[in-house]
Amino acid sequence: MNGVRVAAIHAMQASNAPTAQAFKRVFPEACVLNLMDDALAKDVAVTGIDEAMHQRFEFLARYAKDHGKVEGVLFTCSAFGSAIEHVQRQLGSPAFPILKPNEAMQQEAVDLGGDIAVLSMFEPTLPSIEREMLDMARSQGKRDLKLHIKYIPGALEALNTGDEHKCETLIADATVNFISELQQQRTRVNGVSLAMFSMAFARERVQSALRMLSRESSEEGPVPVLTSPDSAVRKLRTLLSGT
């Protein structure tokens, strides 16, 4: 596995750091080619995921494969599920894996089953994530999955201006308030999914806040918090190594 070249393709600057950290922890021997089209996140709000968007994603992946000479691709942009699926159909194969950012984390959520809270600070991410997770559950014959979706306003704006503390606080507060609301409705939440790569840095803060909520509400234990980067990189490494 030494020297294997892979591509990480980003639609947001904020995805770069958590991706790099995940590769350092999980797949340190990889040589990572980072590609960025940070206009994608703005453009999708205007055009939606249309054919032109599909072609942009395919172009990025083809560039990575043909000119970057990579052996696999990890997309880190979770709002673009159908565009990534297009690329998977056009270029993906067992010999050239192309991964969505949340596939591995979504499998963890499906395995947990029951009621799962899904939070994002980029609203266009949520319909794509919801569809993908429910499709995955159905394809595996798991019918007990129920998703509870929450958008966190202001968090991405804070992160984009460099205020990580404010972003982290908004994510943690929104998560705790959402779980508390669900518990008051007699909903037993089995897991929390932070739906963006760029939210992973807040995991410890969220877990700490949920532990406190668990003590205050006399719940059996804190709700597990799932994040994408480590799970995604681990899956890519496994696919490339064949083990």
- The strand pair at 115-120 and 98-99 is best described as unpaired
Least Cα distance to 228 among 201, 190, 189 occurs for 201
Q: Do domains 5-101+230-241 and 103-227 have the same CATH topology?
A: yes
Each residue's pLDDT tens digit in the chain (243 positions)?
A: 567 999 999 999 889 999 999 999 999 999 999 999 999 988 988 888 899 999 999 999 999 999 999 999 999 988 888 999 999 999 999 999 999 999 999 999 999 999 999 999 999 889 989 999 999 999 999 989 999 999 999 999 999 999 999 999 999 999 999 999 999 999 999 999 999 999 999 999 999 999 998 887 656 667 899 999 999 999 999 999 875
Judge contact between 115 and 54, C-beta under 8 A.
no
Place of tokens 């249309």: 50
Longest dimension (CA), the chain: 56
Closest among 130, 172, 128, 174 to 149, alpha carbons compared: 130
User: Is domain 103-227 in CATH 3.40.50.2300, yes or no?
Assistant: no
Domain boundaries, the chain: 5-101+230-241, 103-227
What is the C-alpha separation between 44 and 37, in angstroms, rounded?
12
Assigned CATH topology for domain 5-101+230-241: Rossmann fold (3.40.50)
